[in-house]
Amino acid sequence: MTFCEEVRKETDFYWEGSFEHPFVKGLVGGTLPIEKFKFYMMQDAYYLKHYTKVLAIAASKAITNEDIAYFLETARHINEAELELHRTVFHELGVTDQELETFEPAPAAYNYVSHMYNTAHNGDVAEAFAAMFPCPWLYQEIGEKYKDAKPGVKLYEEWITMYSDPDYKEKIELQKSMMNRFAKEQPEKVSLLKSHFKKSCYYEWKFWEMPWTLEDWKGEVVNYEYI
């Protein structure tokens, strides 16, 4: 099996957890409370802002001109296209200037971004990509799995359409080939690459749990019953 086939099989527990998470099921079924989606979108904008920076770090560590160009172009695309979409969605969700000014990343978002920065700064381009790749790949599989869903909520339908687009799947296939190439070039690092990848799969699941519970920095501590 290729690296991607192996790591996908080994992390399937986390992928199935994402497919069946009540946030995802609520989104595709049209029952997700809009406030939870708003919370998710604001955290996702924070995540994507830093994802572009991690891509730039990966570009600085890439060896070939083709890889450098790919990472920089992907960073530009996310910054200009996806963040612009968030700005449009923010308007539809009624996100206020005050909410943006006082925004604070939830623990899951902060920890996920920190994981990617740590991997990118302390590792090479293969390690950085292993930490980044679960996000787009998972979203493509969610889009494919639920492409026929009709939630009846405009924002939810647009979200599904974005990630079920055939062009998006082509991008993921290209990224799979890149990840397989990186792993093949450094067979001694396969276990480390899988470790980075697995952590990101876990944080992807946490990214659904975060808006579902409206996670903050006090909730779990406040609710803990000291004996």
Q: What is the pLDDT of residues 173-189, one digit of tens each?
A: 999 999 999 999 999 99
Say which residue the tokens 């993921």 belong to.
172
Beta carbons within 8 Å of 152's beta carbon, 6+ residues apart: 30
pLDDT at site 226: 67
pLDDT at site 202: 98
Q: What is the pLDDT of residues 41-58, one digit of tens each?
A: 999 999 999 999 999 999
Token digits for 155? 């924002």
pLDDT at site 83: 72
pLDDT at site 219: 84
pTM, entire model: 0.94
pLDDT at site 126: 98
Q: Please give the C-alpha separations between residue 31 and each of 23, 89, 193, 207, in angstroms, as whole numbers.
A: 9, 18, 37, 18
Burial (CB < 10 A; 0-12, 13-18, 19+), residue 134, is: buried
How many C-alpha atoms does 54 have within 13 Å on its Cβ side?
27
pLDDT at site 227: 54
Positions of the chain with pLDDT under 50: none
Average pLDDT, the chain: 95
Max distance between CA atoms of the chain, in angstroms, equals 59
pLDDT at site 81: 74
Active site residues: 135, 204
Instruction: Determine the Cα–Cα distance for residues 109 and 112; give it in Å rounded to an integer.
Output: 5
Instruction: Determine the Cα–Cα distance for residues 71 and 60; give it in Å rounded to an integer.
Output: 9
Instruction: Determine the Cα–Cα distance for residues 129 and 200; give it in Å rounded to an integer.
Output: 11
